[in-house]
């Protein structure tokens, strides 16, 4: 059944016009909407490229604009360490610094603090000298050492929001404990209590700062549903997070984006309890084209993943297309996971494009599989840019096509 509806954010504040989400149309669980931020609109569903340290690796902001990206991510942990918040503020925030005037979403830093911290701890266990120790999680926050120079730091919910205010993003994420799936249910339950407490503290600090960045722009805040692979914890989490008036709701956890079957299961649990009127963000989802199709079919609006850029750099290029069979979007490709390996010798003299009809800058310029293979084999820097533009544009185009399908365009 298809029906049209327009739902405004319930937030009624003097500055609420700076952020809104309108849901235009749905098809089954699939949703098409528009997110309005101080730096422009984002049409959903959307794939968001990841600009880890203030650049989508191998691309500059002009290249990213050419992929027709509407919003990018910045990583709070990395930007906090380098260039640091003093430089960031002196340069007027991340938009000005990287010459990107469209929306930016920042993560909370929680995931990197734990994943890089864990990586450091494991290296130390193996006797690798790193000059650092792992992380220490307390109810107040997370103590960690920089993976760059071993210097000690601590992130609390308030500190994470403050750093995101200094970055000046349009959408901030609440600070949470990114829970590895390997943890016991007992640990997961304890972690969830902490994550919920931190979500409330982020919410309160956000309100205290009038929901504004240090540059005066409105910043929205999304809460994150955690709970690992435990249904009761996920349900408790979605109830708690949606009880706070966040501007959007995100789904986090190790499984989301990296284990499609597990992601599917978690989404089936939580989706019915998510408010229709708010944007829904599946964090880290978008490794393969099929992931975006499945995420949209499960009722989610926003996706991000470092994989399209990373895979491109490693010689994996997306091929395939979205077809609509029996009223459902289906991704079809001649290659497993929709990825071709450009290093293969069969492409040595292949004068075809990566994909016929692709509207990325690389394919539009007519660069052949043979040329890309040659650049890849000779480790030419140009390869990284050409490959990344294709993969990023591929994922964004997919979300555009899904949106058109939902809107019956």
Query: Are residues 59 and 310 in contact, defined by beta-carbon separation less than 8 angstroms?
Result: no
CB of 354 to Zn ion, least distance (A): 5
Task: Please give the Cα distance from 340 to 346 (Å, whole number).
Answer: 11
107 is catalytic: yes
- Distance from chain centroid for Cα 34: 17
Of 199 and 317, the one with the shorter C-beta distance to Zn ion is: 317
Of 281 and 394, the one with the shorter C-beta distance to Zn ion is: 394
Annotate 310-377 with three-state secondary structure: HHHHCCEEECCEEEEECCEEEEECCCHHHEEECCCHHHCCCCCCCCCCCCCHHHHCCCCHHHHHHHHH
Near Zn ion in 380-399, by CB under 5 A:
390
Q: What is residue 283's three-state secondary structure? A: coil
Q: Token pair for residue 77?
A: 């942990």
63 is catalytic: no
Residues 6+ apart with CB under 8 A from 74: 51, 52, 54, 94, 104, 105, 106, 107, 167, 169
CB of 380 to Zn ion, least distance (A): 18
Near Zn ion in 343-372, by CB under 5 A:
358, 360, 362-363
Of 114 and 387, the one with the shorter C-beta distance to Zn ion is: 387
- Which residue bears the tokens 């692709």? 358
CB of 393 to Zn ion, least distance (A): 6
Of 316 and 362, the one with the shorter C-beta distance to Zn ion is: 362
Of 94 and 354, the one with the shorter C-beta distance to Zn ion is: 354
CB of 247 to Zn ion, least distance (A): 34
Near Zn ion in 250-269, by CB under 5 A:
none
CB of 83 to Zn ion, least distance (A): 32
Of 373 and 390, the one with the shorter C-beta distance to Zn ion is: 390
- How many chain residues bind Zn ion (CB under 5 A)? 5
Among 107, 170, 176, 291, the one annotated catalytic: 107
Task: Please give the Cα distance from 124 to 150 (Å, whole number).
Answer: 12
CA distances from 12 to 19, 23, 103, 186, 283 (A): 11, 18, 22, 39, 27
Q: Token pair for residue 61?
A: 């902001």
Task: Please give the Cα distance from 17 to 30 (Å, whole number).
Answer: 26
Among 170, 176, 301, 304, the one annotated catalytic: 304
CB of 388 to Zn ion, least distance (A): 11
**305 CB neighbour count, 10 Å cutoff:** 25
Residues that bind Zn ion (CB under 5 A): 358, 360, 362-363, 390
Q: Which amino acids are annotated catalytic?
A: 107, 304
């Amino acid at each position: 059944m298809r029906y049209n509806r327009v739902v405004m954010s319930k937030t009624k504040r003097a500055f609420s016009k700076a952020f809104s989400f309108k849901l235009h149309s749905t098809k089954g669980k699939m949703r098409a909407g528009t997110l309005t931020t101080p730096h422009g609109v984002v049409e959903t569903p959307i794939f968001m490229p990841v600009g880890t340290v203030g650049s989508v690796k191998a691309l500059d902001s002009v290249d990213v604009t050419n992929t027709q990206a509407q919003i990018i991510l910045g990583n709070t942990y990395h930007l906090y360490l380098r260039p640091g918040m003093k430089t960031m503020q002196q340069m007027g925030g991340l938009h000005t610094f990287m010459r990107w005037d469209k929306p930016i979403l920042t993560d909370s830093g929680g995931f990197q603090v734990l994943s890089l911290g864990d990586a450091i701890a494991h290296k130390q266990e193996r006797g690798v000298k790193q000059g650092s120790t792992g992380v220490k999680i307390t109810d107040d926050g997370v103590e960690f050492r920089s993976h760059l120079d071993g210097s000690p730091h601590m992130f609390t919910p308030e500190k994470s929001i403050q750093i995101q205010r200094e970055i000046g993003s349009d959408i901030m994420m609440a600070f949470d404990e990114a829970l590895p799936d390997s943890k016991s249910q007992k640990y997961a339950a304890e972690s969830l209590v902490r994550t919920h407490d931190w979500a409330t503290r982020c919410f309160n600090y956000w309100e205290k700062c009038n929901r504004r960045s240090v540059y005066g722009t409105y910043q929205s805040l999304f809460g994150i549903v955690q709970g690992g692979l435990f249904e009761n914890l996920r349900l408790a989490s979605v109830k708690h997070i949606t009880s706070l008036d966040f501007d959007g709701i995100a789904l986090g956890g190790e499984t989301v984006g990296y284990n499609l079957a597990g992601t599917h299961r978690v989404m089936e649990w939580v989706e019915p309890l998510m408010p229709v009127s708010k944007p829904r963000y599946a964090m880290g989802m978008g490794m393969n084209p099929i992931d975006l199709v499945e995420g949209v079919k499960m009722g989610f609006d926003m996706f991000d993943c470092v994989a399209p850029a990373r895979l491109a750099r490693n010689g994996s290029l997306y091929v395939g297309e979205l077809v609509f069979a029996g009223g459902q979007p289906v991704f079809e490709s001649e290659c497993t996971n929709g990825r071709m390996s450009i290093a293969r010798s069969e492409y040595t003299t292949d004068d075809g494009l990566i994909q016929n009809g692709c509207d990325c800058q690389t394919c539009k310029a007519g660069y052949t599989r043979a040329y890309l293979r040659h650049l890849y084999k000779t480790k030419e820097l140009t390869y990284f840019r050409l490959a990344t533009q294709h993969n990023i544009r591929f994922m964004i185009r997919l979300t555009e096509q899904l949106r058109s399908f939902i809107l019956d365009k």
